[in-house]
Amino acid sequence: MKAIILNFFVTLFFIRIQTQSHRRSKPIFTCGGNFTGDSGVIGSQGYPGVYPANTKCVWRITVTRGKVVALSFRVLDLESDNLCRYDYVDVYDGHINGQRLGRFCGTSRPGALVTNGNKMQVTMVSDANTAGSGFLAVFSAVRPNEKGNRYCGGLLDRSSGSLKTPNWPDKDYPAGVTCTWHIVAPRNQIIELKFEKFDVERDNYCRYDHVAIFNGAEANEASRIGRFCGDSPPAPIYSDGNHLLIQFLSDLSLTADGFIGHYQFRAKSSVSTKAPPTAIIPTTLPMTTRPVALAYSEALCKQKCRRTGVIDSHYCSSSFVITGTLVSAAVREESVHAILSIISVYKQGDLAIQQAGKSLSARVVILCRKCPLVRRGLNYIVMGQIDEEGRGVIAPHNFVMAFKGKRHREPNVLKNINC
């Protein structure tokens, strides 16, 4: 009997030790870190608890040379926003100045994100308001060009196939995404590419969201066939050789439906003349006569932040006049780079206006970040000058004020002003 009781307490003792050991081995997720090896797990700070506010965490992953990194999200639970402007996770190909593979928020998990080399960087940013448990992701080392359920892009070597933007056809492609498809045909064949549907944020020079197509296996200007955007599908495209590279990039502002394209391998002799692309974009912008806009200076930003005059007195001296909703604002050095979703345009001048579907937007640089003070989500009347890139430029003396739609009558008088 004593032996039985003794065995019971010994067994209970070891079970307790094992339980405590198991509890101690539970991973604790901190804010970023360096990770090496051929597999591992990363998670947001404090996961599965609510992630902290006002943080920026960076995880740097390095796997064995000769292999690439594949990252799969097991959990994604961040504040939701169509453009992921507030809380988000960025994934980069490489550690320093790497190409962004995607920006993610909300609860919709993407497919695997795969680098071109053996390094990956994951960055998570949260603002003052947090919501959710963050993320949990698994990384692994895989062979280059290994096939799988990728988020977008990849190696295509079958005789025919399709490529499409993420979320197609259910909803718009996401903001902050780079996708690269590398199509490889047999040596004696070329590649024909046709787009069935095409709708990418419109801009005269395709500077923002665009599709760039290259002859060969690398993206360089010498081999670029064209850069495309807007809602008109390019004409059929034919490669010079057996490699074709298609790169899709979306920035962090407007998005659109996206595209679906189809390719097939063709014998060189079957294509007597190549159909030229219909929307090759010039590499240099045309000369303009727009006035030179002010640039940031310490002296300029020491001026008192006090708006003078009224709308009428600023209208003629301004190169552009619009009303719009501030949808994003990023501080860069001492200035703020903002995007306004346009409500009305009263005076456009050379202001570059982008279109995605029915939405219009313009980019504005507020030279002095403290003057005028603006907040995203609010509506404003904005007047200012325009720089050589077609962006609005706002100095402390320019006219900017809150716009309250129905209660604001001033914009109506602009229609009657003759400069």
Which CATH number do you get for residue 393?
2.40.50.120
Tokens 């988020």 found at: 151
Low-confidence stretches of the chain (pLDDT < 50) are 4-6, 8-15, 17-24, 273-291, 407
Contact 246, 262 (CB under 8 A): no
Residues 263 and 325 in one domain: no
Predicted confidence at residue 329, as pLDDT, reads 82
Residues 218 and 320 in one domain: no
Q: Is residue 222 part of a domain?
A: yes
CA distance 323 to 400: 10
Residues 136 and 220 in one domain: yes
Predicted confidence at residue 293, as pLDDT, reads 65
Residues 194 and 326 in one domain: no
Q: Is residue 279 part of a domain?
A: no
Predicted confidence at residue 389, as pLDDT, reads 82
Residues 251 and 306 in one domain: no
Residues 57 and 165 in one domain: yes
Backbone phi, psi, residue 74, to 5°: -90, -35
Expressed as residue numbers, the domain containing 369 is 298-416
Closest of 367, 383, 393 to residue 316, by C-alpha: 383
Task: Give the Cβ contact number of residue 150 at 10 Å.
Answer: 19
Write down how long the chain is.
419
Contact 406, 304 (CB under 8 A): no
Which residues lie closer than 8 Å to 13 by C-beta, 6 or more apart? none
Predicted confidence at residue 148, as pLDDT, reads 67
Residues 367 and 252 in one domain: no
Predicted confidence at residue 413, as pLDDT, reads 66
Predicted confidence at residue 25, as pLDDT, reads 54
Predicted confidence at residue 175, as pLDDT, reads 82
Contact 167, 193 (CB under 8 A): no
Tokens 């599908």 found at: 233
CA gyration radius for the chain?
27
pTM: 0.57
Residues 219 and 336 in one domain: no
Residues 146 and 234 in one domain: yes
Residues 219 and 314 in one domain: no
Contact 83, 327 (CB under 8 A): yes
Q: Is residue 19 part of a domain?
A: no
Predicted confidence at residue 402, as pLDDT, reads 85
CA distance 402 to 381: 6
Residues 317 and 227 in one domain: no
Q: Is residue 255 part of a domain?
A: yes
CATH code, domain with 218: 2.60.120.290
Q: Is residue 106 part of a domain?
A: yes
Q: Is residue 194 part of a domain?
A: yes
Residues 86 and 180 in one domain: yes
Which residues lie closer than 8 Å to 308 by C-beta, 6 or more apart? 397
CA distance 174 to 113: 15
The string over 192-229, giving b where at least 16 C-beta atoms fall within 10 Å of a residue's C-beta and e elsewhere, is: bbebeebbbbbbebbbbbbbbbbbbeeeeeebbbbbbb
Which residues lie closer than 8 Å to 108 by C-beta, 6 or more apart? 76
What's the total number of domains in the chain?
2
Token couple for 70: 């594949």
Q: Is residue 4 part of a domain?
A: no
Which residues lie closer than 8 Å to 395 by C-beta, 6 or more apart? 294, 300, 367, 368, 384, 385
CA distance 16 to 383: 71
Q: Is residue 211 part of a domain?
A: yes
Predicted confidence at residue 255, as pLDDT, reads 85
Q: Show which of 230, 250, 270 is a domain's final residue.
A: 270
